[in-house]
Amino acid sequence: MRCLRTKLEDELLKEKEHVEAIRAHILRDAEALRGNVRPSNDYTETVLAAILQNQSRELIKSHRQPHFARIFFKEHGRAVKEDAYIGRFGIFERETLQPIVLDWRSPIANLYYDDSFENVSVEVDPKHPLTFDLERKRQFEFRDGSLEAFYDSENGALIDRLLLERLSARSGDKLQDIVETIQAEQNRIIRADARENMVVQGVAGSGKTTIALHRLSYLAYQKRNNAAHTQFLVIAPNRVFLDYIANVLPDLGVEGVTQFTWEDLTHHLLPKKTKFASEERKRALFFEETDNGKCEEQRVTVLAARLRGSMAFAKLLERVVEKVAKQMVPDADLVLSPRHQMTKEEIARRFFEDYRYEPYLKRRKRLLDSLSRFAQDAIKDEIARFDKRLTKGKYADALEQSAKIRAAIEERYERFARTVKNIDIYALYRKVLMSENNVSRVLATLSDDTELNEQTKRYVLTRYADSDSSWEWEDSAALLFLTRQFHGFASDTRFAHMIVDEAQDLSAFQIFVLTKLSPNATLSIFGDISQSISPYKGLTSWDEVTRDVFLDRASYKTLEQSYRSTVEIVTFANRALRHHQTPGIPLAKPVLRHGAEPEILKTSEAQEVALLIELIGRVQSEGFKQIAVIEKTMAACSAMQERLQKEASYALPLLSEKTERYEGGLHLMPIYMSKGLEFDAVIVLNPSANAYDANSSLHAKLLYVACTRALHRLYILQKDSLTPLLK
């Protein structure tokens, strides 16, 4: 036993010495790189300097922890044994280009993340994949920059010790990278082919957001020598979420990623400033206490939203655009003079063939520009012909006649130009929705409830009869689609890959618009139908995306393991979903990390504020810093905030849509603002039978989202009868 312990100690000492040798190399290399960076006005030298500076930054980032793993392996069928260290960034000898530490994104590093030890395929060269066998995998544990221990696994799954340690840690105010603990199911999504579109259904806590960002880092590494293939776009649910993930990509070596919420992207792309109505009215309609009198209004609102977000509506608009485009060019020749005429066939050829890669209003401008030049040439030619016929002494008549020739041709051109139609996309869209035939046709594809369809049709026709009314966010996909067809999108929308997070709250039409945003881009779409809590705008099934948007040409992957919460919290949260589980969508399977059972604390209206303050203090005294107090609605949050201030002079900051920077710590928030975030402890306020209807799948999802935000502690502060959804 003593010999074994000494052997392990000797091995640890060697690893520590190796770490120090790498650190010395890093310092030398970083200094050499800085010495090679010189100011220059030359473009090539400037680009080279930027590359050297980036390499220097990556080296410095690696100094504290040069690597996190080591693999011992050999090529299948061969006897020669090899080993390699794996870190966040690659480190190599510059003279020989021999690797010292492999980048986690490199092909060989896949041996560490794969869940097999034998016949592991590695595509060093895609045309000639190699197969390797692993002897063992080693994980290193660093604390405060010092190597403390290592753990080996042999002939089995990767040790969960480091994963469990990371999951047991306290949450931070920003999302962290997971390069040390990427699991095999996550790794397969991260390393999926960049050329394929992908839809990922992942349960709460499965790491969807982190996987999405690591996928961008992996793709950037694969295409690092081609700048055109490293232009990325991230679509996130709100600005708080964007701030929450802000640190991950730079830490993974990815800079300059374009990040938008759907709302910001819409405003960025529309041709003019456009006012959209707040969604507070709809949230109140669906999230406030149950009122049977509102059921019909809810059903109509949902169907009206599905109408405008459906691919059936998108196809209708495609047909409308095609029809309108054919009418933009008049079915007539342009006759400027007997000698200067352009046939309608030639005009149509220019518009529909020569300019076919342009959006329609840009085609219109190009056509009118070309016709204007044709008119100017005609003027010059006709005046020149007249001048040749002039006799001496007729100069005054020449000026007058030249002016008449010019005016006549210009007038004929202007008259014709007015028949080349201009299109107002807003008026066109309103006209489409004011057509009973259009609305009825699409509704028939969505519902077979005749009475509901008729009510919805009346709602839509009434809603869009007022030309001064503001638009709703359900209209944004159609307006962006028409913008793309008639105005085109800006040149800064050329992306190689797009990540869409929390995609279950987008419509199929919105995702379809994203496919049109950048012609050659592929998309990775992440979401959870079980967390679709906006019935007036979200998806009901991934089939709407895989089948209707991508026409079955997108891969579909699932993540069923939840890594965020303890077994006890996930089991508790799953109670709500079991009542209304979406067919084909699995419940979360918790990783084997146990903790305290969720607590249901009963109170009264009079004691609620005091007990909440006491509970917050207790949680903070246990060392938990990231704490969310969650209510169902924003109105309920505001009411509780006022009560805390009035009854106890206690200030509890509110996280709302107006919040742009997430500072972490203690916050009060509505459920919809908590999505995608995670906290050490969560306190859910009064999920009563009155507020959360046992027959409502929406209310079940709301509770599921609220409960699954918790990593370590979950509390239910209950003053009324508990909803059956949690019993």
> Is 80 annotated as ligand-binding?
no
State how far Cα 325 lies from the chain centre: 32
Q: Is residue 442 within 8 Å of residue 307, measured between CB atoms?
A: yes
Three-state DSSP class for 101?
Answer: strand
Q: How many other C-beta atoms are found inside a 10 Å radius of the C-beta of residue 154?
A: 12
Q: Please, what is the Cα angle at 686 between 685 and 688, to 5 degrees?
A: 150
Strand partners, 602: 718
- Tokens at 540, concatenated: 């009901």
> Is 202 annotated as ligand-binding?
yes
CA 719 – CA 706 distance, rounded (Å): 18
> Is 635 annotated as ligand-binding?
no
> Is 90 annotated as ligand-binding?
no
Cα distance between the two ends of the chain: 52
The contacts of residue 689 (CB under 8 Å, 6+ apart) are: 720, 721, 722, 723, 724
Residue type, 636: A
C-alpha separations of 304 from 132, 440, 507 in Å: 55, 11, 12
Q: Is residue 37 within 8 Å of residue 52, measured between CB atoms?
A: yes
The contacts of residue 79 (CB under 8 Å, 6+ apart) are: none
C-alpha separations of 52 from 23, 34, 49, 401 in Å: 19, 7, 5, 70
Long-range contacts of 129-134 (CB under 8 A, 24+ apart): 130/75, 130/76, 131/75, 131/76, 131/77, 132/73, 132/74, 132/75, 132/76, 133/73, 133/74, 133/75, 133/76, 134/71, 134/72, 134/73
> Is 204 annotated as ligand-binding?
yes
With tokens 């991230």, the residue in question is: 234
Q: Please, what is the Cα angle at 299 between 294 and 302, to 5 degrees?
A: 120
CA 49 – CA 38 distance, rounded (Å): 7
> Is 46 annotated as ligand-binding?
no
CA 266 – CA 509 distance, rounded (Å): 13
> Is 203 annotated as ligand-binding?
yes
CA 327 – CA 320 distance, rounded (Å): 11
DSSP letter, residue 528: -
Strand partners, 85: 70
- Tokens at 637, concatenated: 């949050």
Name which of 187, 231, 192 is nearest 211 in CA terms: 187
CA 306 – CA 641 distance, rounded (Å): 35
- What value does the CA radius of gyration of the chain take, rounded to a whole number of Å? 32
> Is 205 annotated as ligand-binding?
yes
- Tokens at 214, concatenated: 């690591």
Q: Is residue 563 within 8 Å of residue 203, measured between CB atoms?
A: no
Q: Which residues are annotated as a binding site for ATP?
A: 202-209
Q: Which residues are annotated as a binding site?
A: 202-209
